[in-house]
């Protein structure tokens, strides 16, 4: 017989934003529980739950909440736009029209405007050493095939403009660019087709995760890259494999909105690796 007092399960939620899927652990009021081993075990789509990123909510000291992000290979992500939108939707469901969020990338803000939830993902990092790149080159024209753009959003992004995103398989070139020595912390890789000044089609290869149906910080980086290249306005709609996001590069940062969904609430068994 199990001793109920020591059988400590771990509650979590599954959410997705435009098909970018997350396990969310709410650790407000207690110590953080996620370790690289737990992230890897939970991220296994056969033996665990499966996710593109794991987001752990913690108490914010100088903000309403703090958020930590993990990839399914057990590495940390400094930013995750779609998980930030999902968590903001969840926490703002408890009340309020504004939420401040402390992340490794800085202090973010979520706001409801005319019923739509927008998250400010912060200003883009456009200096080579902030992205970070391994050496001083012009981020607007990286010395790689296809003349891509490097942008930091708290995590590194390499935006490759392509003529036909539908015909582009991110798995063909993504891994090679992710591991190119130009990116000392590896990089996320976006393949973007500009359809017009207000619309982009984008597919993504994520560092530490691989192909995902959407990437919020990648969408922000792509909107910034396209505008800096003179291809789009500051506000664009973006079609990803899993749905549409809206991006608006304002004075104080890149704002993003889009769909979110709560899939289920569940508990990990105490015997699951890394729970007890
Ligand atoms: N899906 C996330 C980004 C994850 C980025 C992560 N793969 C990294 O290592 O930077 C988003 O919505 O922004």
pLDDT-derived band at 6 (thresholds 50, 70, 90) equals low
Ligand 1 atom nearest the C-alpha of 206 is 7
Report the pLDDT averaged over residues 48-76.
Answer: 97
55 belongs to a structural domain:
yes
Q: Are residues 160 and 200 in the same domain?
A: yes
Q: Clarify whether residues 94 and 40 are in a common domain.
A: yes
- Residue labelled with tokens 């993990």: 70
Q: Quote the mean pLDDT of the chain.
A: 96
What's the gap in Å between 215 CA and the centre of ligand 1? 6
203 and 244 inside one domain: yes
CATH number for position 198: 3.10.310.10
Alpha helices in the chain (DSSP H): 36-43, 81-92, 170-178, 216-228
The reply to whether 178 falls in a domain is yes
- Closest by CA to 21, choosing from 259, 207, 180, is 259
Active-site residue numbers? 80, 215
User: How many whole angstroms separate alpha carbon 225 and alpha carbon 194?
Assistant: 11
Residue 163 shares a structural domain with residue 202: yes
Probe ligand 1: pick from 217, 247, 259, max atoms within 8 Å of CB? 217
The verdict on residue 134 lying in a domain is no
Q: Do 116 and 204 have their domain in common?
A: no
For the CA of 76, the nearest atom of ligand 1:
9
- Structural domains in the chain (count): 2
Determine, yes or no, domain membership for 129: no
Tokens in use for 51?
A: 């996710």
Neighbours of 107 (CB within 10 A): 14
Q: Do 31 and 93 have their domain in common?
A: yes
Same domain assignment for residues 264 and 236: no
Contact residues of ligand 1, CB 6 A cut-off? 20, 52-53, 71, 77, 79-82, 155, 188, 206-209, 212, 215-217
158 shares its domain with 96:
no
In a domain, 275, yes or no: no
Q: Report whether 187 contacts 180 (CB < 8 A).
A: yes
Q: Could you give the percent of the chain with pLDDT greater than 70?
A: 97
Q: How far is the CA of 82 from the centre of ligand 1 (A)?
A: 8
- The pLDDT score that the predictor gives to residue 7 is 67
Residues 165 and 104 in one domain: no
Per-residue pLDDT tens for 179-217? 999 999 999 999 999 999 999 999 999 999 999 999 999
| 108-118 mean pLDDT | 96
Range of the domain at 105: 10-120+260-268
Give nearest CA residue, ligand 1 atom 3.
Answer: 80
The rounded Å distance from CA 8 to ligand 1 centre is 30
77 and 148 housed in the same domain: no
pLDDT score for 274: 81
Quote ipTM for the complex: 0.97
> pTM score, two decimals?
0.95
Residue 47 lies in a domain: yes
pLDDT class of 265 with cuts at 50, 70, 90: very high
């Amino acid at each position: 017989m199990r001793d109920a007092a020591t059988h400590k399960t771990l509650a979590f939620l599954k959410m997705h934003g435009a098909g970018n899927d997350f396990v969310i652990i709410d650790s407000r009021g207690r110590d953080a529980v996620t370790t690289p081993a737990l992230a890897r075990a939970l991220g296994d789509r056969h033996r665990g739950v499966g996710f593109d990123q794991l987001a752990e909510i913690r108490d914010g000291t100088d903000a309403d909440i703090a958020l930590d992000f993990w990839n399914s290979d057990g590495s940390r992500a400094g930013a995750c736009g779609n998980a930030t939108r999902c968590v903001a939707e969840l926490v703002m469901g408890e009340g309020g029209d504004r939420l401040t969020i402390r992340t490794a990338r800085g202090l973010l803000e979520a706001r409801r405007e005319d019923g739509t939830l927008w998250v400010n993902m912060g200003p883009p990092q456009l200096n080579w050493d902030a992205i970070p790149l391994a050496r001083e080159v012009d981020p607007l024209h990286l010395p790689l095939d296809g003349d891509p753009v490097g942008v930091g959003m708290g995590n590194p992004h390499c935006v490759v403009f392509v003529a036909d995103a539908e015909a582009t398989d991110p798995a063909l070139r993504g891994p090679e660019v992710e591991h190119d020595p130009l990116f000392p912390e590896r990089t996320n890789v976006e393949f973007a087709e500009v359809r017009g000044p207000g619309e982009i089609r984008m597919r993504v290869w994520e560092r530490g995760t691989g192909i995902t149906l959407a990437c919020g910080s990648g969408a922000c980086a792509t909107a910034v890259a396209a505008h800096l290249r003179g291809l789009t306005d500051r506000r664009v709609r973006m079609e990803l494999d899993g749905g549409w996001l809206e991006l608006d590069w304002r004075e104080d940062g890149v704002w993003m909105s889009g769909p979110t969904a709560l899939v289920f609430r569940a508990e990990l068994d105490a015997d699951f690796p890394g729970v007890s």
